[in-house]
Amino acid sequence: MLSDELKKRGPIRKIGVIGMGYVGIPAAALFADSPVFENVFGFQRDSPSSGYKIAMLNRGESPLKGEEPGLEELLQKVTAAKKFSCTSDFSRIRELDAVTLSIQTPFLNKEDLLPDFSALMEGIRHVGKNLSPGMLVVLESTITPGTTTGIAREALESESGLEAGTDFALAHAPERVMVGRLLRNIREHDRIVGGIDETSTRRASELYSPVLTTGKVIPMTATAAEVTKTAENTFRDLQIAAINELALYCEAMGINVYDVRTGIDSLKGEGITRAMLWPGAGVGGHCLTKDTYHLERGVQVLGRGTLDYLKGEPSLYVLARHINDFMPTHMFRLTLDALKRAGRKPKGAKIALLGWSFLSNSDDTRNTPSEPYRDALIAEGAQVAVHDPYVAEYPGVPIVPFIEDAVKEADAIVIFAGHHQYKNLDAPYLRNLTGKRHPVIVDGRNMLDPDTYIGLGFIYKGIGRGDKNGHAVVD
């Protein structure tokens, strides 16, 4: 019986975290900082691309890019106290009471949207080979519903010869961290903890409770935890798609979507919420662009054909993905319409693309919506100069350091990211830089005041600005 094995083993004292990335590192540091636990190993493959992290972490230095408040100090503290060390020797897993896996699960490619679990399965096999009775295994990676009780459980059992739920505890506790707030998120967010059985859920709760400050453990089954994680991002993507579609409607009806948003949002009262998000040039990142497809695969695999749904209709959530992925195309069409009004064809035109990262005031470029937009313009023979104050480089895409380098002689200026710097651009200065009587300006993130630009002779287009997009050109 698992409860007997856990009783024999006693409370969790020694922990392992596999995958020293932006999820594993803060998790390991927080476990190590808890007086409840005795020792934490961070496991990192000594691979050419990330083996360097091992030495860095053992010096108490964080290999993560960008600001992570408190992380470096915490790593210094726990390494100095010899409560945390990093190793590539996976055989040391056998010394542990609990091990978590925070290994990335990217999609193989954008087309078939099949997740690449190879790195995660390699980590799982390492655990299986070193598993002993009474241990707890927790998957933190974002995974397709059905993975914990499916391929993960099977791999652990076949590698170890032990049985999940009888000899060892197995659970899924999805990460909910945002870069820039890693430690705070782990301490303050509620933690979904889903075991393959009650005993596993309880054991996993013992592991996470000590690191939570304001957050609480929310227990459920492993599969419910997998669905919670993927669906919480699916719903955010859906909310964004809902207001993106409304923005397109408002453009077609000649009204300002932001007036409508303010109006709808004014409906207040107990339990009344419309959770209106913001329309924009598209949805990027590695969460919202993927998690819907994890959820969809989950219901196909686990649902085993028992799903009762509208015959022949696409999933609402996949349709939401398609609407959000349409927004860069809409930006492309707005640009071409405006160029046409300026008497220009895209061929040979110069476009200043402002914003390459997928998120405002961030350097994160994963799945940026700016990329399909740039590709479409280049296919039309336009020249695209990309500027982004946070992004220094991107494979195959030259990024100019100064906005002037992008805007000089440009036929169109197009805003894709809501970076602070783009909030108060100097319109007359920009117009002079273009050297055009009627330069185009396309605002993908509601950063600009349309009348300022229209009054200067710009040809303006804005997402959701049906009230301005057909404006008369001012000479």
Q: Which residues bind ligand SAJ (CB under 6 A)?
A: 176-178, 232-233, 236, 240, 277-278, 280, 283-285, 287-288, 358-359
- Toward ligand SAJ, which CB reaches closer, 359 or 399? 359
Give me the torsion for CA of 435, 438, 440, 443, rounded to 10°.
110
Minimal distance, residue 288 CB to ligand SAJ, in Å: 5
- Toward ligand SAJ, which CB reaches closer, 172 or 236? 236
Per-residue exposure over 199-229, b if at least 16 CB sit within 10 Å of its own CB, e if not: bbbbbbbbbbeebbeebebebbbbbbbbbbb
- Distance, in Å, from the CA atom of 53 to the CA atom of 117, rounded to the nearest integer, reads 22
Minimal distance, residue 74 CB to ligand SAJ, in Å: 20
- Distance, in Å, from the CA atom of 446 to the CA atom of 417, rounded to the nearest integer, reads 10
Minimal distance, residue 157 CB to ligand SAJ, in Å: 30
Minimal distance, residue 355 CB to ligand SAJ, in Å: 9
User: Please, are residues 136 and 53 in contact by the beta-carbon 8 Å criterion?
Assistant: no
- Toward ligand SAJ, which CB reaches closer, 85 or 239? 239
Among residues 315, 297, 320, the alpha carbon closest in space to that of 114 is found at 297
Q: Which of 83, 287, 436, 461 is catalytic?
A: 287
Structure tokens at 123: 């980590």
- Toward ligand SAJ, which CB reaches closer, 340 or 420? 420
Minimal distance, residue 87 CB to ligand SAJ, in Å: 27
Minimal distance, residue 183 CB to ligand SAJ, in Å: 14
- Toward ligand SAJ, which CB reaches closer, 277 or 400? 277
Minimal distance, residue 314 CB to ligand SAJ, in Å: 21
Give the end-to-end CA distance of the chain in Å, rounded to a whole number. Answer: 83
Structure tokens at 465: 């600005």
Q: Which of 53, 83, 229, 468 is catalytic?
A: 229
Structure tokens at 412: 């169109």
User: Please, are residues 265 and 297 in contact by the beta-carbon 8 Å criterion?
Assistant: no
- Distance, in Å, from the CA atom of 52 to the CA atom of 32, rounded to the nearest integer, reads 21
- Toward ligand SAJ, which CB reaches closer, 196 or 442? 442
Minimal distance, residue 284 CB to ligand SAJ, in Å: 4
Q: Has 287 been annotated as catalytic?
A: yes
Q: Has 229 been annotated as catalytic?
A: yes
- Toward ligand SAJ, which CB reaches closer, 137 or 283? 283
- Toward ligand SAJ, which CB reaches closer, 168 or 356? 356
User: Please, are residues 290 and 340 in contact by the beta-carbon 8 Å criterion?
Assistant: no
Structure tokens at 273: 């919420």
- Distance, in Å, from the CA atom of 387 to the CA atom of 203, rounded to the nearest integer, reads 50
Residue with tokens 């099949």: 114
| 412-415 and 350-354 strand pairing | parallel
- Toward ligand SAJ, which CB reaches closer, 175 or 411? 175
Minimal distance, residue 331 CB to ligand SAJ, in Å: 12
Catalytic residues: 229, 287
